[in-house]
Structure 1
Amino acid sequence: MASAEYPKVLVSSRVYTEPKSTEALHDELASQIGATLLKTGAEAFARLGTIAAADSHEVVIVAQRFPDLQAADPINWTGFDGVRVLLDFDVVRNYSRIVNDRYLGAWSREFRRHRFDALICTGKEVAARMRSEGIEAYWVPKGYDPRYFADAGQERRGVCSYGLLYRARAAMLRTLRRNAVEVEHFVVPYQMLGERLGGFLSCLVCNMEGTPRLGDLGRAAYRLLPGAMVKIRPGLEPMIKNFEAAAAGCAVFADWIPELAELGFVDGETMVAYQTFDELVEKFRAYDRDPDRLRAMGSAAATLCAARHTWSDRAREIGRVLRSIRSGKDSRAG
């Protein structure tokens, strides 16, 4: 049931066949702000305006896989005169080569092609860049699902890294291993991730962007030696790993991004910040000699995340953003 505190919201999302962090956020939008979930994928685009208008929704949030948004015909908004919002976790790739350059500029184009009114993305700098392009963009950070990530007080040892080996992450691991720092890197299904993290004292996160040095020569070297010949640039926003690993009670070592301070993370208290891989090696060696301090840091980080960074928190933040957008539209209409 919709809440009187928030606009009446319809969320158009994909069909999920296994647990995903994005689905947890959508479910919290239903729970926290009374949103109606339309889990039909992009097939609803041809009649989305009619669907929204039929039940007097004031806001439609489209939260689909971006490739599906690209492949679809322009959304048919006929009959709907409310607010059209694009919600996406990966807008950072509009400006970053963190994986590759395939999506540079793509979100800006799709936003206009589908005639959205506003964008909610997960990076403060990314939102600012979008606004500089004339797009009404809002920052709501990533979060985590406490059903899967929590500090259960179990015995911990060692340091880990997880996820796909983006170039910057591979370069980080190569630097650490060349300096005799043993890191266990793994990839597991989402629903098993929190339990796996719970066995580690520390987790290394790399939000940075990596691109090949020397063009084709660098790409060839990278194929032979993953992590080699990579040019590193600062990251634009904190990855979801910053929240998942911290919520699971790991002491997180992460490259510093200014918005982390606004999210309550403090170097030496709820995380260990680094600027370069050499600094990461130096700091890891210093902290690794004091496992009790790392354990306390992980516990403090888990407490911070539970208090401020769950998907329930993010759903309420989105509700406040939607209320602001609707008020602005009403003021302009008046």
Structure 2
Amino acid sequence: MTKPVRIALDAMGGDHGPEVIVPGAALALDRRPDMEFIFFGDEAQIRPHLDALPKLAAVSTLHHTSVAVRMDDKPSQALRAGRRESSMWLSIDAVKKNHADAAVSAGNTGALMAMAKTCLRMMPNIDRPAIAGIWPTIRGRSIVLDVGASIGADAKHLVHLAIMGAAMARIVLGVERPTVGLLNIGVEEIKGIEEVKSASRLLRQIALPDLDYLGFVEGGDIGRGVADVVVTEGFAGNIALKTAEGTANQMAKYLRDELGRDFMSKIGYFFARRAFAALKAKMDPRNVNGGVLLGLEGVVIKSHGGADVVGTAVAIEIGYTIARHQLLGRIRAALARSHDGQAWPPKISTADEEKPAQAAQSGI
């Protein structure tokens, strides 16, 4: 019999706490019966919700703590103020101690990043963690990273993001050799800041067997699904993510207003309601909730602070999938192959350095 995947839950995180986290776990359990849960938080608040779900209660344990990280806490404050007593820290620590296979929190993103990095440490050769998000596209889904873990990135970090994102895509998207694109202001080799151009040259030079590097992609290419993995630094990635969410909400508002504008519009909606329901499902952000914190020696999932029961279940299921298919081992192996005993980052060959200059001279 396969060993159950055990998920540690910060039950006090997010806007809604146990009233969403607990039933979200129950919904995830219905879909993935080979799971167990450890809830960390205020027992007085959690217990009533857990007792109302006997199937979930049978595969769960509850560890009481009265300390919770607030959504407006600065990361430094969260680390100083009773960090080892908070529901967030304890859920991450459960992963470190091998009591859980993954931790899920809808709490303060900055605090979660700081605690995860402090508690779990970074993988060898990785300097900073990244948040990888699942992005709905015309072709299906893509992985985009970093969507907000840290600001700025050199070429080395961008290459590592590509390696980690490709490893995640093989598990989550089921693609054996994922295509990878670097987000840029244009697809031409001469465009963009030097760090991005250097990362592009490195990816072409090392020619990793685990991914298919396509080159530069633009913002509009993300939704088109041009690449299975889109790599960028956290500042641009977070802006892209928030812009996409805002645009989706804007279009939904326009659509609702027009469909209710007059009698004929309402009649048209009646006949097309199945198509609109399908569209809503494809654009529903709950179905892609859950950012994976990559680069850590442990699995941590960041759920949206305002996630409802469905969104919470999806984030938990992402943690389940990542742990069940041993993403961390795959990332370690891919990183080892990329380094392969050579100095890192490898020196870009003279021929690769000359390509952008030659393109500029030729007017490409």
Scaled by the length of structure 2, the TM-score of the pair is 0.32
Compare relative contact order (CA 8 Å, sep 6+) and give the higher one, 1 or 2. Answer: 2
- Name whichever structure is richer in helix by fraction: 2
Larger Rg over CA atoms: 2
Scaled by the length of structure 1, the TM-score of the pair is 0.34
